[in-house]
Amino acid sequence: MKILIADDHELVRDTLMAFLDREADFELSACENLKTALDLIGTDGPFDLVLLDYSMPGMDGLSGLEKAKEANGGNPVAIISGTAPRTIAQEALDTGAAGFLPKTMGAKSLVNAVRFMAAGEVFAPVKFMTEVVEEEEHALAKKLTKREMQVLEGLCQGQSNKEIARDTNLQEVTIKLHVKTLCNKLDAKNRTQAAVIAKDAGLF
């Protein structure tokens, strides 16, 4: 099984290599940036699995994921990170990543995840994905009143102020005030961004 690890932190790269090198059927390659990773995919690939550090040089957010996926001929490409939040992990998965691996994973879990993804499955650590959601949800929910939560739910459903007013038995002018308050409390520029923040935090 051919695996490419791309990470600009030498210690992290060496640690991941050491974990995976214990497996007799793993053939490992490593590099420190996206350009070199793409070059290696071109010369030695396609790989059964490519692991890309989210914040290494050349990645430019998740655009590097797209480039690696295309270069690797449709074979799995996953994101690894020690700093990216759950929202980035979810975005990577939505973009077609084979998985998201926190750098805090233990050796056994890492090996199992690698085998899982190389087999064509999608991996995301449940504990990482859910714990952060619960923390974010708790923090946001504490800021809002019950009525504000009802209005925010309407925003997340794409309802107009008139529709939210009808569902909550309030005046439309009152809904406008609630929307303004929600934007202030969530540090959102507009109602759409407020809905996005709520969805990212797992409120609805």
Structure-token pair, residue 56 = 């290494």
Query: Number of C-alpha atoms within 13 angstroms, CB side, residue 182?
Result: 28
pLDDT at 132: 52
Q: Within a 10 A sphere around the Cβ of 192, how many other Cβ atoms?
A: 11
Taking Cα atoms as reference points, which of 66, 104, 63 lies closest to residue 82?
104
Phi-psi region of 154 (alpha: psi -120 to 50; beta: other; left: phi over 0): alpha
pLDDT at 138: 58
Going from the first residue of the chain to its last (204 residues), give the mean pLDDT of each consecutive group of 10, the final group possibly shorter: 94 91 94 96 95 92 92 95 82 92 87 94 78 58 88 92 94 95 91 84 70
* Cα separation, 137 vs 144, whole angstroms: 11
The reply to whether omega before 46 is within 30° of 0 (cis) is yes
pLDDT at 11: 85
pTM for the model stands at: 0.63
pLDDT at 127: 67
pLDDT at 79: 95
CA–CA–CA angle 9, 13, 18 (5° rounding):
150
Q: What are the backbone angles phi and psi of residue 28, rounded to the nearest 5°? A: -105, 145
Query: Number of C-alpha atoms within 13 angstroms, CB side, residue 34?
Result: 22
pLDDT digits (tens, 9 = 90+) for 5-14: 999 988 889 9
pLDDT at 187: 87
pLDDT at 86: 80
pLDDT digits (tens, 9 = 90+) for 78-87: 999 887 778 8
pLDDT at 87: 83
Taking Cα atoms as reference points, which of 140, 170, 169, 171 lies closest to residue 156?
140
Domains of the chain: 2-124 (3.40.50.2300), 135-200 (1.10.10.10)
